[in-house]
Structure 1
Amino acid sequence: MPITAQHVRETVIAYLTEHPDEKDSLSALVRTLDRAGDTIASRKEFRGHVTAAAALLRPDGRVLTVEHRVLGKWLLPGGHVEENDTTLVAAALRELEEETGIAPDHVEPDSGLPLHIEVHSIPANPEKAEPRHLHFDFRFLFRTTTDRVELREEEVTAYSWQFADALTAEPLRSRIVIATR
């Protein structure tokens, strides 16, 4: 069964229980969820839709980042949820494997809760007939001991294992730094 609005809502509620200070920053997500319902998981929901990403942490404190081909930015491995994804954490794990070739049996989820939820704007893409819209990116922490990466080059162009303190996005950076301890 695809990801439902109920699953997204329950995940947001659990996240806000841990991070109540982020209620205002997630208001666009909550509003869109109320209006979109189950289409919140569809990439064709242009009021905004959920995406999932993996913060993959090695024991040496390095986090895997990939250079996104379309956006030209260094990001965590991740992307749109798909019809066969049943949870947001499973979608993050699938995206990790698709983009980096790191199989789920080399990865251990830290918890079922997102490490961070970010709301960001995606520019219009006339080639795909997509207007400017919001992504509600659910970022989950995973741990690994592998460093072998096989990029899916149609989506990402490069990868790097960065020390967590080199990341610039807050509060993601701080939360990963804490997780390294």
Structure 2
Amino acid sequence: MHRQPLLDLLKHHQPFDEDERTMLEHSIQFVRNHPNCFERQLTIGHVTGSAWIVSPDRWQVVLLHHAKLDRWFQPGGHADGDPDLLGVALREAEEETGLRDLKVVNRAIFDVDVHTIPARVSEPEHLHYDIRFLLEATTDQPFVQTAETKEVRWVDVREIGKLTTEKSIIRMNTKKK
């Protein structure tokens, strides 16, 4: 079954708190119940892959200002049928930031989040079952600007609260890296 590797990763993930534990349980049920969970055509929701990119000294993380949602997030995006979510996270991180020298810190899941994506003209409100992986990059690599982002930058971990109050960003920043 193409979903089994993700289910195995989810089963072994240790949630940080009760909020993440609840989202982990919801994600497991969603993946079990929807063979097409990796497809964005599943209009109730779909699995996505994201990257929490840290500097080698762990004092900085990469955040991007999302153009459509007008908020700061970690890089990530749709699986578009690909069940290899670490690969999805790496691909999306490269596409959205321009960083090419990304190192996988751990192949295990770093964080799990379920969040609502607001309705737009072309799609109804739906859920993203976001599976996040911990990556590392050196801070000397240049970023690229894309149509999806207003800005991409390294952010000091002590300054993240000035850019966002998103619970999942704060949670990932709090986790030991």
Match of 2:141 in 1: 148
Match of 1:19 in 2: 15
Matched, 1:119 2:119: no
Q: What runs of 5+ residues in structure 1 fail to find an aligned partner? A: none
How far is the alpha carbon of 1:87 from its aligned partner?
A: 1.2
- Are the aligned partners of 1:54 and 1:96 in contact in 2 as well (CA < 8 Å)? yes
- Are the aligned partners of 1:29 and 1:119 in contact in 2 as well (CA < 8 Å)? yes
The percent identity for this pair of structures is 30
How far is the alpha carbon of 1:139 from its aligned partner?
A: 1.2
Q: Normalization by structure 2: what TM-score?
A: 0.84
Give matches, 1:1-40, under 5 Å: 4-15=2-13, 18-19=14-15, 21=18, 22-37=20-35, 39-40=36-37
More helix by share: 1
In 2, Cα distance between the equivalents of 1:53 and 1:164?
18
Match of 1:51 in 2: 48
In 1, Cα distance between the equivalents of 2:75 and 2:3?
23
Give a deviation string over 1:43-95, Cα, whole Å, max 9, x none: 11122211111111113410010111111111001111134x45111110000
- Are the aligned partners of 2:64 and 2:151 in contact in 1 as well (CA < 8 Å)? yes
In 1, Cα distance between the equivalents of 2:145 and 2:32?
35
Q: Normalization by structure 1: what TM-score?
A: 0.83
How many residues are paired up?
167
In 1, Cα distance between the equivalents of 2:76 and 2:55?
17
Runs of 4+ in 1 over 6 A off after TM superposition: none
Q: CA RMSD in A?
A: 2.0
Match of 2:66 in 1: 68
Structure 1 pair 25–82 and aligned structure 2 pair: CA distance change class (3 A)? closer
Give matches, 1:68-87, under 5 Å: 68-83=66-81, 85-87=82-84
Match of 1:174 in 2: 174
Structure 1 pair 165–136 and aligned structure 2 pair: CA distance change class (3 A)? farther
How far is the alpha carbon of 1:135 from its aligned partner?
A: 0.4
